[in-house]
Structure 1
Amino acid sequence: MFNPWPHPLCVAVALATLASSTLAQAQDRTFNLPSGPLASTLNAIASQSGHIVSLEPSLVKGKQAPAVVGKMPAEQAMQQALMGSGLQLRVTDQGNFSVEPAIDSNAALQLGATNIVELSTDATTEGSGSYTSRAVTIGKGTHTLKEIPQSITVVTRKQLDDQGLTDLKDAANKTTGLVGAQGVGKGMILSSRGFQIDDWQYDGVPIPRNTYALGNWATQDLIFFDRMEVLRGASGLLQGTGSPGGAVNLVRKRGQIAPTVTLTGKAGSWDHYGLQLDAGGPLNQTGTVRGRFVADQDDSHSFVDSEWSKTTSLYGALDFDLRDDTTLGLAVSQSSGESRPMVRGFPRYADGRAIDLSRSTYTGAKWNHSQIDVTTLYADLEHRFNDDWAFKVGAVRQAEGNKAKNQRVQSIQQGLAADGSGVQYADFYSNFDSTKVGLDMNLTGKFEALSMQQEIMVGGNYSKLTSDDKYARTFNNSTDTIFGIDHDRPDISYESLINAPQGQGTLSNYDIRQKGLYGSWRVKPVDSLTLVLGSRVSWYDYSYTYWTQKTSGITANPDSTTNETGQVTPYAGIVYDLSREWAVYASYTDVFEPQTARTVTGPVLKPVIGSNYEVGIKGELMDGRVNTSLAVFRYDQENRAVLDLASPQICDGWYCSVASGKVRSQGIEAEISGEVTDSLQLFAGYTYNTTQYLKDPENEGKIFSWWTPKHMLRVWSNYQFSGDWNRVSTGLGFTAQTRTVGYDHSVNVPGYAVWNARVGYQMTPEIELAMNANNLFDKTYFTAGYNQLNGNNNYGDPRNVMFSVKYTPTF
């Protein structure tokens, strides 16, 4: 049979070497920068052209640059941006740029070079106009992607805006190797290389984000963040009990050095409307206090009948330069999301076939309702002892309230009868409140000893999750068919469910705490070779307490507790520079991952243990404007929890768990991102990933990560026209993946390819118009997740369009 997918190694090599076959870059670059703060414009020109620009921040504070539009050398673009500013451009012997007051050269020499800031070398992506970043912060400190011996992806602010990605789930499904799966709640499950990523980092501080008494409810706005950094592969060194699949770091927006205001309005399919204000700048004359404010309102109906959602998001940030070498950052974000959701989708026929229902079919009741409120406080303090040594401490506190009631339609047995009968209405009420706290501090330093360049990083972190939860549910058999769903059943409450025949509620509390000490040492025995050694010692305490509530009263159940003390997680890596552009690497790490699942006899399963191996090659091409990578990985894991379907449903009203034996995830990944040709920004990532039970009494040989496709290809590109068409840009891309299976291995979810496009028009230097079209060919498909015969089969979005207008005034 013809296989439309080429051999994975061929695809990987093709993507990894695409940039190296590109013709030598032209001297001229195409710029399309609206008028705005001078600092932002200079930074964007430098980033797009691969240069470094150095200047005194006070020189550009409060100054504006005219629009820079057209095809020209970077030097000419810089000079055009500096017109009327009273500043001049100087080109260094190395080809880098320096901005100085427009005075005679002798006076200029006397200014010296104190407090020089290299604008284009930090990891911030706002204003860069790029689909790649020169550096990341996910590994503590700041390093280029080529210096880290693991697979790294950066989703920049430019890419998020071009693709219209405002939600972490959507962004994950456009990123190499990630899957944002629909859980059994309104939220999502984030996974990589077949494993869930339950701890998410905020500015490098990890906190647990997917621990709920029932279901999956984690949601995350992206409008507060500059970029999303993704590390694939074991992340235990960074966050202790990390996922073997990887880590995600969300880096927030900061106060800006010059006034900037952006107002964006949007309108699209299914009565989808939105309005966003993003403003920032200095709050005092010296610019030592900077602020940022973001407000976003998003209201939408859905392709599904009766569904709707309203989300209000607010963000405020302050950055204080306490001294020239010390910066304090404070911020708060708040998201309030109200909706009428359809939870758990559709069941299937007993033979596994999907039911031929319209994508607009709603299975909930008119009273379905969800309210998710998330308030997050951020704080960090960074002290720079000198150019080589720095200390940073960061803290995050997140309070989440999640209240929902919903009708779910499922099948009484495993699947519906051929006539659509066998429907069961499941009524769920939940009220979850949780508080997550995270703290991370680290010291990084570079030095030379024994004639070798060296770098050390030492630190520690702590996180805590506490919750106060309650939920109730009933299961009601019906003579209705799937083709005649009752949306007008009586409304529910917690009290009505516990008072129903065979009804009961559950009250529960989590208390999960972990802490650890970590460190790494980078040394260069010779200029082309870097050795990385690291380790972490972790402590973990877990407690889960729950009570059963019925009309007869409340009954306490046995507590579930576990603790791990002094778990050591080693890490080793090697990076060898083949040339200035290319490097090969290898890395190894152990994995320590506590589990919360309980056995039928009560105790929590012992931690997952495993070993992660990765080898690859990375390229930093075209003066850093393109990053590319090719990796081969393998991870072997033991003691992973699986549902004990032979046990009674006595673990929180559901099946208990058993250790799964041994499983393996292995595969190939390739990625290219950045300006691959003049005016063309490209992001392309391919993943070949197999997951399999190696030793298991029931599942040996089967797929263990049911929602992980064997092949995934994510592509998005944006082309900026030049000449008479220089106001126009176009974007085109697709997401393609092969089939997945249901979590009970009885459902086959076919693969799919979905195409998306964008057209942008810079009407004036201040006004940009854009249209995004998603699912261009109106592909009908089911998303991967907890697909089962008795429910949780959800359609992907049909074709839809979003129009937007962005206004960026000058000051």
Structure 2
Amino acid sequence: MSLNRRETCAGSRAPGIRKTFTVSLLAMAVHALLNPALAADTTATQQDLVVNANTDSNSTAQDKTDYQVKTTRAGTKLLLTPRDVPQSVSVITQQRMQDQQLQTISDVLKNATGITSSQDDSERAYYYSRGFLLTNFTYDGIPTSMGDSWNYGDTASDTAIYDRIEIVRGATGLMTGAGSPAASVNMVRKHADSKEFTGNLTASYGSWNKQRYVADVSTPLNESGSVRGRVIAGYQNQDSWLDRYRKNTKFLYGTIDADITDNTTLSLAYDYQDADTKNPTWGGNPVFYSNGSLTHYDRSLNSSADWTYYHTTVRKVYADLVHNFDNGWSFRLNGTHAENTFSDKLLYTGYLSLPDQDTGEGADGFGSMDRGKRELTSVDGYASGPFELFGRQHQLMAGVSYSRQHNKTYSSDGVTDQDAYDIATGDIGVFNNHWNGNIAEPEWSDWYENADDVIRQKSVYTAARFSLADPLSLILGARYTQYSTNGSSGNMDKNNITPYAGVVYDINDTWSAYASYTSIFQPQTYRDSSGHYLSPVTGKSYETGLKSAWFDGRLTATLAIFRIEQNNVGEAINGEYVNNSSEQAYSATKGARSKGAEFELNGAITDNLQMTFGATRYVARDSEGRYNPDQPQTDFKLFTSYRLPMLQDLTIGGGINWQNRVFEDDTAPDGSTQRVYQGSYPLANLFARYQVSKQVSVQANINNLFDRTYYTYMNNYVYGEPRNVSVSVSYQF
């Protein structure tokens, strides 16, 4: 028995490029085992699906519950099936985010294939892929520079406003221009796409008094439904496993989509997100006691003072115009203006003097007040569609983009003894597990400017997918970027051409082999301890592998082998900060190399079983040895969702994340360098959802099921979250 699909990505009026995907015997065996009712239906052996290139999605009810999408513009901006993209692509859909309760971009990245993280304190997190820091974040394809060492709330953004999160691992110069070879994360916003009044309300309660309320409402704004509106609003309030910690967030997202003509749609949107934290930590807790022994604290210990806080606000305005031509071509023009602000008052402890093992006393500390604003204005326009050459049909994409980003930050030092960074914490037992945060504020210095810089990118880019033969396609592209920075940290101009080449060969109806190459170019917004920008990162990225697709593309698999070579990569300097502020200082490495392999299986095993399984193994080294040794070089992530065939209203699932041993070279009290290890560990989680009625569902989630104790940061110890539970109720109308 076989299940076939015909698919065209060339437009409704063009002849198109057709492919037939035949389910392999292994996949059919699994399918039949887990869904015998479908296997017995020998009459429905063929199903045709035609996808119009003018729309990025033709969603059905089935598609909305899948963990995979059938087409994407990730990687090249050409509308392709995931199998036809010559790079590793992961898509986190709405259903996956709902099942696993991935409520922030940070949650998504921590559970995505090939991504690892470093949670430096209670508020700041950084992400890595294939050994390198991930700095490429785009919103509907518009890049945002993420090199700043302050957290502007980007990864804390709530996922309720996004339709899906797309992650392309490896270099993505065609999409982002200047960027990291690690990966690129694209957040695709929700639109007002319903011509009927609909929506849902969700309320949840969980560990540490976490309360969350979200409303998502769509409605037509005129009788025909050609003008539609959507509002998504949410509020969240929570304590933490950390003593005295409290955080509340709120967000509001509104969009209006208007069909100006049958072929033209205009979308306008506004996004507001605000987060306020009381008693946040800055950095972690000391690794050593004053006698040189390794420390061990309660996970609940919060070394911050009761006067500390962290506040971020994000405001964004979007405009998006899409026109579909009758010949299969489409044009898209989108723009955004974003203002991200932050302010904080923080306490860092154990910088020069370490605590006594018996009393917990003796640690020094210093305070910092910081404030800053990042403004981003971006415009991106491109056209894509089919064309014929030498009797075959191909695809072409071409576009231009412009972005201007202004970063401005200030600090005030809270020290009474500039030499010792001492604010009289030495006689208070901050690290005796009885610390209550009761300490007087330091005397604050005058505000001084940390940075006032403008970053501009002007780009022209193009890519073409050539059908060389029925089983063979070639993607060629390039992006020309004019990059400049001007401001307090110095002036820099850099022009660069980033080439892109990829080839895909269809071995049979199910499997394809692919290979891709691109160069790397990334002017860095990291600075050394004196405040100067590091030289741009340069290098090369290679990837080859196998891809497959079953069940009309609802289930995909990728096996990738990669190699990345680059120079001048910014690496954090242990214990050093830019001009003694809270901004981490970096140095440029002489050369870094990463090579390894990745595997991902994602999508619908059957109509009832959804699964994501990802595994990564790489080796990253620079001239001094292992590169970023605090990041695991082997990890796997599994998550499943299974709707019981005999009780269709009940869905159960769960997963496990595992990583291998990591280490960090830390400075001991005697001045020597000691290597501190953290062993491998798994984190397991479970969920269950019951559909009480057509409108009402109840869901329960458990994270860190076995309550494993682990560190998310080893330069100074930061604990990961203990076991926690949540229960949510959703009402659909």
TM over 0.5: yes
**Once the two structures are superposed, what CA deviation does each residue of 1:146-168 show, in whole Å capped at 9, x if it has no partner?**
11100000000000000001111
Which residue number in structure 1 is paired with residue 642 of structure 2? 719
Equivalent AA in structure 2 for residue 561 of structure 1:
N
Query: In structure 1, what is the Cα distance between the partners aligned to 2:498 and 2:731?
Result: 49
Which residue number in structure 1 is paired with residue 373 of structure 2? 433
CA contact (8 A) 2:121 2:284 kept: no
Among 197, 210, 224, which residue is 1:259 paired with? 197
Gaps of at least 5 residues in structure 1 are 1-16, 31-70, 76-90, 99-114, 546-558
Which residue number in structure 1 is paired with residue 349 of structure 2? 409
CA contact (8 A) 1:155 1:227 kept: yes
1:181 corresponds to 2:118: yes
1:317 corresponds to 2:251: no
Shift of 1:665: 1.1
CA contact (8 A) 2:399 2:462 kept: yes
Gaps of at least 5 residues in structure 2 are 1-22, 416-420, 667-673
Which residue number in structure 2 is paired with residue 54 of structure 1? none
Equivalent AA in structure 1 for residue 301 of structure 2:
T
1:276 corresponds to 2:214: yes
SS of the counterpart of 1:677?
coil
Equivalent AA in structure 1 for residue 399 of structure 2:
G
Query: In structure 1, what is the Cα distance between the partners aligned to 2:603 and 2:662?
Result: 30
Among 468, 473, 478, which residue is 1:530 paired with? 473
**Once the two structures are superposed, what CA deviation does each residue of 1:157-187 show, in whole Å capped at 9, x if it has no partner?**
0000000011111110100011232246723
1:622 corresponds to 2:551: yes
Shift of 1:600: 7.6
**Once the two structures are superposed, what CA deviation does each residue of 1:713-748 show, in whole Å capped at 9, x if it has no partner?**
11110110122x221110110111112233758432
**Once the two structures are superposed, what CA deviation does each residue of 1:581-615 show, in whole Å capped at 9, x if it has no partner?**
21110001100111234568886433211110100
| Range that drifts further, 444-453 or 480-489 | 480-489
Query: In structure 2, what is the Cα distance between the partners aligned to 1:74 and 1:412?
Result: 71
> Where do 1:168-207 residues align within 5 Å?
168-183=105-120, 186-207=123-144
Shift of 1:443: 1.2
Which residue number in structure 2 is paired with residue 362 of structure 1? 302
Among 219, 222, 227, which residue is 1:289 paired with? 227
Equivalent AA in structure 1 for residue 228 of structure 2:
R
| Range that drifts further, 184-193 or 20-29 | 20-29
Query: In structure 1, what is the Cα distance between the partners aligned to 2:337 and 2:119?
Result: 26
1:23 corresponds to 2:29: yes
Which residue number in structure 1 is paired with residue 444 of structure 2? 497
Give the direction of change, closer, same or farther, for the CA distance of 1:683–1:367 in structure 2 (3 Å limit).
Answer: same
Shift of 1:486: 5.8
Equivalent AA in structure 2 for residue 564 of structure 1:
K
Which residue number in structure 2 is paired with residue 564 of structure 1? 494
Query: In structure 2, what is the Cα distance between the partners aligned to 1:728 and 1:376?
Result: 39
CA contact (8 A) 1:636 1:663 kept: yes
**Once the two structures are superposed, what CA deviation does each residue of 1:404-438 show, in whole Å capped at 9, x if it has no partner?**
1122222425x655444541222121111121122
| Range that drifts further, 320-329 or 379-388 | 379-388
**Once the two structures are superposed, what CA deviation does each residue of 1:170-206 show, in whole Å capped at 9, x if it has no partner?**
1101000112322467232232212222231111111
Which residue number in structure 1 is paired with residue 338 of structure 2? 398
**Once the two structures are superposed, what CA deviation does each residue of 1:68-107 show, in whole Å capped at 9, x if it has no partner?**
xxx78999xxxxxxxxxxxxxxx99964489xxxxxxxxx
Q: Normalising to structure 2: TM-score of the pair?
A: 0.87
Equivalent AA in structure 2 for residue 479 of structure 1:
D
Among 324, 329, 335, which residue is 2:273 paired with? 335
Equivalent AA in structure 2 for residue 750 of structure 1:
G
- Percent sequence identity over aligned pairs: 29
CA contact (8 A) 1:692 1:704 kept: yes
Query: In structure 1, what is the Cα distance between the partners aligned to 2:91 and 2:25?
Result: 17
Give the direction of change, closer, same or farther, for the CA distance of 1:123–1:181 in structure 2 (3 Å limit).
Answer: farther
Equivalent AA in structure 1 for residue 655 of structure 2:
G
Equivalent AA in structure 2 for residue 167 of structure 1:
T
Give the direction of change, closer, same or farther, for the CA distance of 1:645–1:180 in structure 2 (3 Å limit).
Answer: closer
SS of the counterpart of 1:560?
coil
Shift of 1:294: 0.5
Which residue number in structure 1 is paired with residue 620 of structure 2? 691
Equivalent AA in structure 2 for residue 172 of structure 1:
L
CA contact (8 A) 1:207 1:464 kept: no
Give the direction of change, closer, same or farther, for the CA distance of 1:391–1:352 in structure 2 (3 Å limit).
Answer: farther
Query: In structure 1, what is the Cα distance between the partners aligned to 2:273 and 2:186?
Result: 19
**Once the two structures are superposed, what CA deviation does each residue of 1:50-71 show, in whole Å capped at 9, x if it has no partner?**
xxxxxxxxxxxxxxxxxxxxx7
CA contact (8 A) 1:277 1:294 kept: yes
Equivalent AA in structure 1 for residue 308 of structure 2:
N
Give the direction of change, closer, same or farther, for the CA distance of 1:373–1:161 in structure 2 (3 Å limit).
Answer: same
Among 83, 86, 92, which residue is 1:149 paired with? 86
Query: In structure 2, what is the Cα distance between the partners aligned to 1:226 and 1:207?
Result: 19
Which residue number in structure 2 is paired with residue 162 of structure 1? 99
Which residue number in structure 1 is paired with residue 174 of structure 2? 237
Structure 1 or 2, whichever has the larger Rg, is 1
Which residue number in structure 1 is paired with residue 158 of structure 2? 221
Query: In structure 2, what is the Cα distance between the partners aligned to 1:383 and 1:562?
Result: 38
> Where do 1:571-590 residues align within 5 Å?
571-590=500-519
Which residue number in structure 2 is paired with residue 764 of structure 1? 693
Shift of 1:231: 0.2
Equivalent AA in structure 2 for residue 563 of structure 1:
D
Which residue number in structure 2 is paired with residue 681 of structure 1? 610
Q: Normalising to structure 1: TM-score of the pair?
A: 0.79
- Give the aligned CA root-mean-square deviation in angstroms: 3.2
